[in-house]
Structure 1
Amino acid sequence: MALEFDLVIENRHVAFSSILILIGTCITIIVYLRNPNPLLRSERSNDLFAQGRKRLKEPPAATTNAEWTSMRELEFYKELYFKLQNLEEHTDTVPIARRAFLVLVSQALEDYGKAPNTNILSIEHFDKNELACFLQSHQDKVTSQYRRYISRRQSGGPCELFQDQQAAGDWLREIAPLKLVDGAWLGHLNKITMPFSLRQIMRQTWQVFTEELGNGNRDQHHVKIFEDLLRGFEPDLPSPTTTAILHPRYKLGNLKYWRAAVAQILVSLFPHDFLPEILGFNMHFESLQLDTMQAAKELPEVGLNAYYFLLHVSIDNGHSGHAAMAMESVADYIRHIADAEGEVAAEVAWKRIQAGYIFSEWQFQKGSQATNIIERLDDASNDRLESKVLAIFGSKIQAAHRLHCGSRVKIGRRSLSDWLDPEAFLDEEWQREFIRSLSTSKPWIYPGDSRRSKLAQEFRWGGRMYGAFTKSELETLELWINSLDYARTPFYYSFIEPITHSWHQRPKISNTDKSSNFGLALGSGSIETASSLPKDQDPLGKYLGDLSTNPNLSFLLPLWFTQCCLLESYVYAPGRTTDKIGCAVVRFLRAQSGFETEDLVVTGTDEPRTTENGGIVEFGLEIIRHASLPIPQDLYSLFSRWPSDFAMTMLKLASSPIRNFGILLGMSMAFLELQEMVSESTNSGLLCPKSSERLALLVRRQYQCLQVCLQEIPPGDTRHVDFHRGYDTAKVEINKCFGPTV
């Protein structure tokens, strides 16, 4: 009996324990499902749509379809907001971001195309005077609305934006996601890989970005000013680059502003492909807005600081401020395209600028209405079909090489023979452009109708390519054609009258290897520590070579231009540049680009823009001219003449600026020594005396900024060790520039 009794008790213990485990499991599952942010749960999955389905599988009780759709979209944008500001950890988000941009800009164009005479589409052909009148008309409309508003207030009318401090706080929370990325629409613009001929246009536009970041002055940084305002309600407000900002406790839950914030980041993400759209977006976003002026008046009335809004009323002015600079950049770009590519290309460029302008304006006109973006993007099966189609074409290329050279068939603006060039087709960007052009090329492809599509007909009996595709390959092609719909062939392409971008063979630069911090790329052997650097020398005085001998330009030029990449990506998320390191990097990049020394008053349109006031790129082009060498179009064409493995390593390291920050700082310091040597080599023929003098000034400014960065890194931080690794490795490569001339 005793044994039997013990067994009964033991069984009950087991049963009781099992019940506890079951209850605990249920609680865990409930907490997991109710967690409103998948990023706070887990970041293992980067499928934004799959995570949305997991979290919001069924609508909550008493929720309408419209509310349900808005909830799902809100979570989608919040997650995308975080990942786009942390791209080096979420590189697989980039294709989703590209599709999201095309879907959203297409919807904006469709909505605005219904009444083209009431918006910027009324300017059918670019004319600078007509554009100036249009923009002035917009400002007149806003200022007239503001005058009527002031008249109502002076007649005793109440505040119209918010009634008290609590309402003001609620409003500030609503707009916070947008204001905490202020400037992000230009964050990816200043790339050394952009065409050199566009430098002056990009420089003026990028100046707008640096002024949004306070030109590297924390007290003038727009995001920091807004953070300080919001911290009156949320003292522990986290950085907008962290997952913490997504938590519902901060009550940042307005779909309109999360979407607008993501749109800012999306439009900047692909400067090589969508520069006209960036310029157009910039032109609208910097225009005067009524709610900005109202907030500047009403916030002090409820006891809050209005300086963030006053700042934007003044700095965005249409005479010498951001609005004026934005319009000039557009006019300069159209002029450049007309001169370089002709009037037809300039007309297309204008339509793309209009698309960018509309994309910005539409964000606010759309309000908090959902756009069903998840349904329009959530099509994994189509992605797989597209990949299969590309794989089929890729597998046929060697067998078909040169067989199409006599064909007059064109896909977009390029011949079929050019598209299927084996070397070119290795590039992923080329493949994406090919599949996009193919999907929009009638009569070869009629989206959704493979029977009507001439390409599919040519592979059947009687067609000129019968037998080139197997039965299964043709079925895959037909499935892909039939799957094409609005989301896969956005209205955007129809609007701009599809035109193929100019393309250059680009070296492979992979930044997807997260398992390594690129240590193997930094050479070998022993890594010197801080103690190995002499302390009694001139700050930039490490001797690297003798410029009285002819420098080896085949080594020097690729490194000279590529050095500009090292810290350029550190600043693309404005929220990461509000501390002392971020501000110092902003000032460093301004000096590198040739901007004047920072002042408490912004220079606006007074900033000198001649080549005499250029930066590192302009000095590099001067070196090339003095050597009587052909001017390269961009960095990639320079690489085709003077290949450099180390330059490629620099680009790869720079693609992960947070992870490799110490290494990039060290390399930047080594290149400052190279710059100083070039500035002092008056007999080398590299630069004229005036340029040498200016370069010396820029070197000192850059050095001061790097010193601030080093001082802000805590003692014992591994970034100090990385700094010396980067410095020593770059020094070895720089020394090669002064060996025997090849």
Structure 2
Amino acid sequence: MPVAVKNKLLEWVDKNHQNYFDLVTFFLNGEVSIQEKERKASYFLKKEIQSLTYNSIDFPPDISKIQDWILENNKFQCAEYQAYLEKRNRGAGREYFKNVGQAFEFLIKVAPVKRVDGSWLFSIVHYWNDSVFRDLIQIYLEELGLGLATSNHVCLFDDLILNLGLEHFVLDLEDEYYHQPAIQLALAYAPPEFIPEIIGFNLAYEQLPLHLLITNYELQELGIDSKYFNLHITIDNIDNGHAHLSIKAFEKIYSKFNDKKSFIEKIKIGFTLNDKGLSSRQIIKNLNLDALVIKILKRKALIGNVIHNDKCKFNNKTINSWLASPDSVEEFVEVLIDKKWIKLGCDPEESRFWKLINQEEGKMFGVFTATEKQIIYDWIAGESAQDADLNARRIQLDHKDKNNYMFSFLSDGELEDIQHQIYETGNLAMKINKLLPYLAPHAHHRETGLWCTQRFVDFLFPFLSHQKFTS
């Protein structure tokens, strides 16, 4: 990227720092230097912190009690989950996702934050030669799957989205879904003065939330691969997982700081940054298949507004006229409901619209993808659908195994080049410094990044390297 273009991008992002999507794009741009990202990260984080209210945060005043405090919270979440399971065993329905379509909507809306999973710890990796940071670096490497695509958190979520056919929905999300990802990426490139905030953020993020346990359970129940969510339950555990490592890191680094009071205040700030943006709980609470279906139909209207004949009219308007403007699509759907072409709350087979898009002889057969049809089906069926019919009413999706083709034959030589540099370099520090850029949030889940992560693990965490091949 030319220098003039980079400078213009920096200036533009600074002036529009409330556009979170642009911030995420900026931080994930491999052409922008770490120095430029660090400058932007510092500016953005200071803006975010100014609007925080963290004095009332539920944080133990006695730091020696931090582990007990987290353990108690963990026990409380587990007890709540057991209460949930007991309700389900007594016949209660799912609390989060009434159908597959709602689960799809949830996965679409959490995609921006899941695709930067663990990124807030990237800046800590640069302190690899200081043992006090080893616990945090280990957490980051495990978020990266120790360099294995089958365990790398971003690879896992991307694979899930790809297999479910949801990737193009993510491109149509509102800016608010990029707020928390922007914060995590800013922490990824934050200068050393933000180390306490990063530790505080990590301390909060690695706790076991009730919503994760229920999400994992209900996705499995709906037949959706929940490996990504289950992995966070197992490796984040308080006994020997990331929650445990987070506490160890906190205690070690706290002991090194002279200004203990300032350190704790900054820890609280980092802890509170977790609450910025839309949380999974808020997304689940506000699931709205109506809006998602309208989005799907508006997208189809862009290509379907000139291909229908003029014989069929609704309220004296042809279908082409109704579809001429995306803004009229919602009203058109209301008309279809009013005319009984769509019978909400009934078996979709009773709706003429569903037959048109689902039956092979239907005039709109093939217009909607299997994923779009699943969402429309569940929208029409609503509460009428019973779990006993779940298999019958699930649309069959074509499974795409990303791991079968993630290594491109059209290589630009990047991997071969870094391999040559590592093998030709005898100095460990030089090897590490060559690997580090490929562990960045935009790169670690790609072919070269995965290889570099494996070498980083081999050099600095040999016990994890062994674990990599036995897990």
Which bracket does the TM-score occupy, shorter chain normalised? 0.5 to 0.7
Instruction: Tell me what 1:204 maps to.
Output: 135
Counterpart contact for 2:179–2:277, Cα < 8 Å: yes
**Partners of 1:79 and 1:224 in 2: how far apart?**
22
**Partners of 2:240 and 2:200 in 1: how far apart?**
18
Aligned pair partner of 2:249 in 329, 342, 354 = 329
- Alpha-carbon spacing, 1:313–1:588, altered in 2? closer, same or farther (3 Å): same
Q: Give runs of aligned pairs for residues 505-516 of structure 1, distance below 5 A.
A: none
Aligned pair partner of 2:79 in 138, 144, 150 = 144
Deviations 1:337-359, CA, capped at 9 Å, x for gaps: 2xxx4xxx123222222221121
- Tell me by how many angstroms 1:272 deviates: 1.6
- Alpha-carbon spacing, 1:42–1:594, altered in 2? closer, same or farther (3 Å): closer
1:565 aligns with 2:433: yes
Instruction: Tell me what 1:486 maps to.
Output: none
**Partners of 2:158 and 2:100 in 1: how far apart?**
17
Where 1:231 maps in the other structure, the secondary structure is helix
- Tell me by how many angstroms 1:569 deviates: 2.0
Aligned pair partner of 2:124 in 189, 207, 226 = 189
Aligned pair partner of 2:49 in 67, 87, 105 = 105
Q: Give runs of aligned pairs for residues 586-601 of structure 1, distance below 5 A.
A: 586-596=453-463, 598-600=465-467
- Alpha-carbon spacing, 1:137–1:45, altered in 2? closer, same or farther (3 Å): same
- Alpha-carbon spacing, 1:293–1:259, altered in 2? closer, same or farther (3 Å): same
- Alpha-carbon spacing, 1:600–1:254, altered in 2? closer, same or farther (3 Å): farther
**Partners of 2:464 and 2:74 in 1: how far apart?**
32
- Alpha-carbon spacing, 1:183–1:219, altered in 2? closer, same or farther (3 Å): same
Deviations 1:345-378, CA, capped at 9 Å, x for gaps: 123222222221121244456958xxxxxxxxxx
**Partners of 2:153 and 2:122 in 1: how far apart?**
14
The AA in structure 1 aligned to 2:206 is: E
**Which structure exhibits the higher relative contact order, with contacts defined as CA atoms closer than 8 Å and separated by 6 or more residues?**
2
When the two structures are superposed, what TM-score results if normalisation uses the length of structure 2? 0.62
Taking only the aligned residue pairs, the percentage that are identical comes to 20
**Partners of 2:192 and 2:170 in 1: how far apart?**
36
**Partners of 1:597 and 1:310 in 2: how far apart?**
20
Where 1:598 maps in the other structure, the secondary structure is helix
- Alpha-carbon spacing, 1:250–1:257, altered in 2? closer, same or farther (3 Å): closer
Instruction: Tell me what 1:47 maps to.
Output: 11
Instruction: Tell me what 2:150 maps to.
Output: 219
Q: Give runs of aligned pairs for residues 520-535 of structure 1, distance below 5 A.
A: none
1:80 aligns with 2:23: yes
Deviations 1:146-189, CA, capped at 9 Å, x for gaps: 22222222222221111111111110000000101111011121
1:304 aligns with 2:224: yes
The AA in structure 1 aligned to 2:81 is: Y
1:159 aligns with 2:94: yes
**Partners of 1:252 and 1:186 in 2: how far apart?**
28
**Partners of 1:562 and 1:582 in 2: how far apart?**
17
**Partners of 2:430 and 2:108 in 1: how far apart?**
41
Q: Give runs of aligned pairs for residues 35-74 of structure 1, distance below 5 A.
A: 45-48=9-12, 73=18
Instruction: Tell me what 1:293 maps to.
Output: 213
Counterpart contact for 1:287–1:316, Cα < 8 Å: yes
- Alpha-carbon spacing, 1:252–1:174, altered in 2? closer, same or farther (3 Å): farther
Where 2:20 maps in the other structure, the secondary structure is helix
- Alpha-carbon spacing, 1:212–1:150, altered in 2? closer, same or farther (3 Å): same
- Alpha-carbon spacing, 1:211–1:560, altered in 2? closer, same or farther (3 Å): closer
**Partners of 1:229 and 1:331 in 2: how far apart?**
36
- Tell me by how many angstroms 1:191 deviates: 1.2
Instruction: Tell me what 2:182 maps to.
Output: 262
- Tell me by how many angstroms 1:142 deviates: 1.8
5+ residue gaps, structure 2, are 284-416
The AA in structure 2 aligned to 1:591 is: D
- Tell me by how many angstroms 1:312 deviates: 0.6
Aligned pair partner of 2:112 in 164, 177, 181 = 177
Deviations 1:465-509, CA, capped at 9 Å, x for gaps: xxxxxxxxxxxxxxxxxxxxxxxxxxxxxxxxxxxxxxxxxxxxx
- Which segment drifts farther, 42-51 or 94-103? 42-51
Where 1:218 maps in the other structure, the secondary structure is coil
The AA in structure 2 aligned to 1:96 is: K
The AA in structure 2 aligned to 1:47 is: E
Q: Give runs of aligned pairs for residues 256-655 of structure 1, distance below 5 A.
A: 256-337=176-257, 341=258, 345-363=259-277, 561-573=429-441, 575-596=442-463, 598-600=465-467
**Partners of 1:600 and 1:106 in 2: how far apart?**
42
Where 2:150 maps in the other structure, the secondary structure is helix
Q: Give runs of aligned pairs for residues 667-682 of structure 1, distance below 5 A.
A: none
- Tell me by how many angstroms 1:289 deviates: 1.3
Aligned pair partner of 1:127 in 63, 71, 77 = 63
Counterpart contact for 2:37–2:189, Cα < 8 Å: no
Counterpart contact for 2:123–2:190, Cα < 8 Å: yes
- Tell me by how many angstroms 1:296 deviates: 0.8
Counterpart contact for 2:237–2:244, Cα < 8 Å: yes
**Partners of 1:330 and 1:597 in 2: how far apart?**
21
Instruction: Tell me what 2:406 maps to.
Output: none
Counterpart contact for 2:109–2:170, Cα < 8 Å: no
Where 2:163 maps in the other structure, the secondary structure is coil
**Partners of 2:222 and 2:146 in 1: how far apart?**
31
Instruction: Tell me what 2:292 maps to.
Output: none
- Alpha-carbon spacing, 1:93–1:48, altered in 2? closer, same or farther (3 Å): farther
- Tell me by how many angstroms 1:560 deviates: 6.1
**Partners of 2:151 and 2:452 in 1: how far apart?**
15
Instruction: Tell me what 1:89 maps to.
Output: 32
5+ residue gaps, structure 1, are 1-40, 53-71, 238-247, 369-529, 534-538, 545-555, 605-742
- Tell me by how many angstroms 1:592 deviates: 2.8
Counterpart contact for 1:280–1:354, Cα < 8 Å: yes
- Tell me by how many angstroms 1:565 deviates: 1.7
Deviations 1:113-158, CA, capped at 9 Å, x for gaps: 2x34xx11xx33x522x11122122212322322222222222222
Deviations 1:240-282, CA, capped at 9 Å, x for gaps: xxxxxxxx75355255541111111112312422111111111
